[in-house]
Amino acid sequence: MKLSYFHVAEDVPRGLQPESAVVIDVLRASTTISCALHHGAEAVQTFADLDELKRVSALWPEDSRLLLGERGGKRLEGFDLGNSPVLVKPELVAGKRLFMSTTNGTKSLHRVREAKNLYVLSLPNRRAIADRLMSDNPKEIVVLGSGWEGSYSLEDSLAAGSLAALLLSEVPESLVIGNDELHASLALWEKWKDDIEMCLRTASHGQRLIGLGNHDKDFSCCSELDLLSVVPMQTEKGVLCAG
């Protein structure tokens, strides 16, 4: 398996459509998606465009849908929820389809939507994603961060490094590190692996969230490691289900 990491959607080379893709948005979309599916959501349908989200969600029964929307870290007006993994509680999301659009994460999902296998990685479901990749054993895997409005994200690179480190420990003979970005992410993981939450709080987006209010519960949830067994996977374009 050749594993490569790209910081943001715009960094993925034009025309590259990998056999498998893994999208990361640690703070907070990929963690929210993982927790929602773990808690029984029927699916999470993601949108880069808000108008499309509103049009498609309007066709879904009102009592079976929830709208999740965030821009700049804040919940969108008129939406049921923002983008927080601690708010997608079982009693709220079980059996429902979540229609979701965020500042960064949904753009990265859109960029690699043509991949044969598309998964969503958060730190809480790292082990589950690694196990699935080892089972799939694809020739090439693109790991794609979400960043912040097109720029580098410390916490997404940390998660990429954590995934690569786990795969290297499990299947060192069959894993090839595909680019310098992933080598750098491995070094980042070695630096912060014993204090994950501090890394998330140090990151510029972590500082942004701190400036918006008390997000202690989000930081705690997003920094948990190997807690969830759920594998969010694309079953049709833009639709993520528990695998």
Alpha-carbon span 199 to 128, nearest angstrom: 22
pLDDT value, residue 159: 98
pLDDT value, residue 196: 98
Q: What is the CATH number of the domain that holds 198?
A: 3.90.1560.10
Nearest CA among 129, 133, 113 for reference residue 121: 129
**pLDDT at residue 51 is higher than 90:** yes
Q: Which helix (H) or strand (E) holds 158?
A: helix 154-170
pLDDT value, residue 103: 87
Alpha-carbon span 117 to 113, nearest angstrom: 9
**pLDDT at residue 18 is higher than 90:** no
Nearest CA among 30, 196, 37, 46 for reference residue 121: 30
Q: In what order do the strands lie in the sheet with 97-101?
A: 74-75, 65-71, 97-101, 43-46, 239-242, 232-236, 117-121, 20-24, 140-144, 2-6, 176-177
Alpha-carbon span 21 to 11, nearest angstrom: 14
Q: Is the pTM of this model over 0.85?
A: yes
pLDDT value, residue 39: 98
pLDDT value, residue 25: 97
pLDDT value, residue 17: 81
Strands 2-6 and 140-144, by their bridges, are: parallel
Give the domain range for residue 219: 2-242
pLDDT tens, position by position, 194-237: 999 999 999 999 999 999 999 999 999 999 999 999 999 999 99
Structural domain total, the chain: 1
Packing angle of the helix pair 126-136, 154-170 (nearest 10 deg): 50
pLDDT tens, position by position, 81-96: 999 999 999 999 999 9
In order of 57, 105, 141, the CA distances from 91 in angstroms are: 20, 25, 35
pLDDT value, residue 88: 98
The rounded mean pLDDT for the chain is 96
Q: Which helix (H) or strand (E) holds 221?
A: helix 216-222
pLDDT tens, position by position, 110-154: 999 999 999 999 999 999 999 999 999 999 999 999 999 889 999
pLDDT value, residue 142: 98
Alpha-carbon span 205 to 158, nearest angstrom: 13
Alpha-carbon span 110 to 102, nearest angstrom: 12
Task: State the average pLDDT over residues 15-42.
Answer: 96
pLDDT value, residue 13: 93
CA dihedral 113, 22, 124, 36 (to 10 degrees): 10
